[in-house]
Amino acid sequence: MKKKFTPYLLLLISFSLIALFKVYPIGYSLVGSLFVKGAGGVTKFAGFANFKMLFLDPDFINSLLMTLKFTLIITPIQVILAVGLAVLLNRDNALVRATRTIVYIPVAVNLVVAATIWNLMLNPSSGIINSILNIFGIESQPLLTSPDQAMWVIMIICCWKGVAYWMLFLLAGMQNINDSIYESGKIDGTNPITEFFYLTLPLLKNTLVFVTISDTMINLFMFVPVYMLTGGGPQGSTNVLMYEAYRSAFKFSNYGRSYAIITILLLMTCVIIGLQFWFLRDKDAPKKPRKARGDLS
């Protein structure tokens, strides 16, 4: 009897932590999005009023579009760069091992510290980035202070921070591919390009699906670089949904609106991830045959 329940007892701590830090906050947000703070600070049930007001609010619509723009652009860029890095570093020698360590350094740097360093480097008047541009005869750029450049700068910082992280998963997936498969390919006349597209990518599909979906989720909930570097500006050009939710709750004390934004972001994430699972599914996987009527076996 003791052995029967031992696995469940061992998993109880993990399930408890997931329930406390994942399930409970989601449930709290869902419930909180249905309430508004009325006159005298009294909270009252409002149904879907918060959601109706959101879709009439230009600030919310802008943050929704900025979030989609950021995610749709940066996710494929990060995945492609991570695949490229993994291919280049999928070798075993001292130089490659040292390069892997150097490439992985940004992942080890705390995101708040990294954002602070980048903020100093990107300063329009005294930052090192503009100093380097000036050396090559390029005039100083506004960077984070420009509505046209700020989001692209945030994307570059996120790529600098995240590409090596996803590269690690892809590199592990590549190293799990049996060498005999590549040897068979060489016998059949493959070159490095055909080997990559016809052997490596198909065998790396499960890892690629995991990396793409995980990266999409992280990008949808991106917050720290915007909070540290731009505060949603300039002119709302980096005001993503997570920052808009933070602004509603901690700057304007409108918790109902904040919970509604988080709820919409969660639903949007579920839809996008569901679509990715659908498009990236293994179409060649054998389907389980249906049992004929009357077949009791």
64-81 residue pLDDT tens: 999 999 999 999 999 999
pTM of the complete model = 0.86
Structure tokens at 166: 């996803």
Task: Work out the angle at residue 243's Cα, subtended by the Cα atoms of residues 238 and 248, and round it to the nearest 5 degrees.
Answer: 130
Residues 246-280 have pLDDT tens digits of: 999 999 888 999 999 999 999 999 998 888 888 87
Residues 133-190 have pLDDT tens digits of: 999 998 999 999 999 999 999 999 999 999 999 999 999 999 988 888 888 888 888 8
Cα–Cα distance measured from residue 166 to residue 186, given in angstroms and rounded to the nearest whole number: 28
Neighbouring C-beta atoms of residue 280, cutoff 10 Å: 15
213 contacts: CB under 8 Å, gap ≥ 6? 273, 276, 277, 280
Of 225, 204, 103, which is closest to residue 155 (Cα–Cα)? 225
Please report, rounded to a whole number, the percentage of residues in the chain having pLDDT higher than 90. 54
pLDDT at 105 over 50: yes
Please report, rounded to a whole number, the percentage of residues in the chain having pLDDT higher than 70. 92
What 3-state DSSP class applies to 127?
Answer: coil
pLDDT at 282 over 80: no
Burial code of 192-215, b = ≥16 C-beta within 10 A, e = fewer? eeeeeeebbeebbeebbbebbbeb
pLDDT at 297 over 50: no
Residues 12-61 have pLDDT tens digits of: 888 888 888 888 888 888 888 888 876 666 678 888 889 999 999 999 99
Task: Identify the band that residue 296 occupies on the pLDDT scale cut at 50, 70 and 90.
Answer: very low
Residues 197-254 have pLDDT tens digits of: 888 888 899 999 999 999 999 999 999 999 999 999 899 999 999 999 999 999 988 8
